[in-house]
Amino acid sequence: EIQLQESGPGLVKPSQSLSLTCSVTGYTITSGYDWSWIRKFPGNKMEWMGYINCSDSTNYNPSLKSRISITRDTSKNQFFLQLNSVTTEDTATYYCASYGYGGYYWGQGVMVTVSS
Amino acid sequence: DIQMTQSPSSISVSLGDRFTITCRASQDIGNYLSWYQQKPEKSPKLMIYRATNLEDGVPSRFSGSRSGSDYSLTINSLESEDTGIYFCLQHKQYPRTFGGGTKLELK
Of A59, A63, A104, nearest to B89 by CB-CB distance is A104
**B48, B79, B77, B78: which is closest to B64 by C-alpha?**
B48
Q: Report angle CA A105, A85, A42 to the nearest 5 degrees.
A: 50
- CB-based contact B101 A46, cutoff 8 Å: yes
Model pLDDT for residues B39-95, shown as the tens digit of each residue? 999 999 999 999 999 999 999 999 999 999 999 999 999 999 999 999 999 999 999
Distance from the B3 Cα atom to the nearest Cα atom in chain A, whole angstroms: 12
- Name chain B contacts of A107, Cβ cutoff 8 Å: 43
With the C-alpha atoms ordered A78, A94, B9, A61, is the resulting torsion angle positive or negative? negative
- CB-based contact A106 B89, cutoff 8 Å: no
Nearest CA in chain A to B47: A103
- CB-based contact B98 A102, cutoff 8 Å: no
- CB-based contact A104 B53, cutoff 8 Å: no
**A33, A21, A24, A20: which is closest to A4 by C-alpha?**
A24
Model pLDDT for residues A23-33, shown as the tens digit of each residue? 999 999 999 99
Looking at the DSSP bridge assignments, the partners of residue A34 are A53, A99
Residue A100: pLDDT band with limits 50, 70, 90 = confident
> B101: Cβ–Cβ under 8 A, 6 or more apart, which residues?
A44, A45, A46, B6, B9, B85, B86, B87
